[in-house]
Every structure is written in C-alpha cells, then in structure tokens.
C-alpha cells in the first residue's frame, strides 16, 4: 500500500530476508567477483546484499544459485511476524 509516497508493507504474513551478505562473507566471495561470475549489475547485487529488495526477481535468484552452486534457502529466509 502506498500512502503519501510512503510504502507500508503488510507484515501480517512475515517477510522474506536475503542472506546474500552472510553467504558471501562465509565463503569469502567479493561483490566484484560475484558481479563477474553472474553478469548481474553491481547496483542490483548491492540491493540483494543489503537486503533492500522490494520484489525478488526469479532470474536473478536463479543466476545467483547457479553461480554460487547453492540452494535458494542458502540465500533467502522466511521470518514470521509476531
């Protein structure tokens, strides 16, 4: 829902968090290297790295999982709301 240019998220169902930063740090992979092996632009990767994604792109996630040889649950985590 958008009200006065402020986006309000429906947190009733919880949220999906991106764990790309943790994964890269754990495996000692730089953002520069990730950009090179995936072909994904740095600004897009940075939003995933900073967990600032509004809508997850399936093709980006597929490229990340393929390039990092990981599963989607290595990069994404569901967090229930209270």
Enter the pTM of the model.
0.82
CATH number, domain 15-79: 1.10.260.40
User: pLDDT digit string (tens) for 22-74?
Assistant: 999 999 999 999 999 999 999 999 999 999 998 999 999 999 999 999 999 99
- pLDDT, greater one: 12 or 25: 25
If you compute the radius of gyration of the chain from its CA atoms, what whole number of angstroms results?
14
pLDDT of residue 10: 61
pLDDT of residue 14: 87
C-alpha distances (whole Å) from 12 to each of 8, 40, 65, 81, 82 are: 12, 32, 28, 6, 8
Residue ranges of domains in the chain? 15-79
């Amino acid at each position: 829902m958008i009200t006065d240019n402020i986006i309000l998220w429906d947190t009733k169902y919880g949220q999906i968090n991106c764990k790309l930063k943790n994964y890269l740090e754990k495996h000692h992979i730089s953002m520069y290297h990730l950009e090179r092996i995936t072909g994904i632009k740095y600004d897009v990767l940075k939003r995933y790295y900073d967990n600032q994604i509004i809508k997850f792109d399936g093709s980006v996630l597929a490229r990340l999982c393929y390039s990092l040889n990981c599963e989607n649950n290595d990069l994404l985590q569901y967090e229930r709301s209270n």
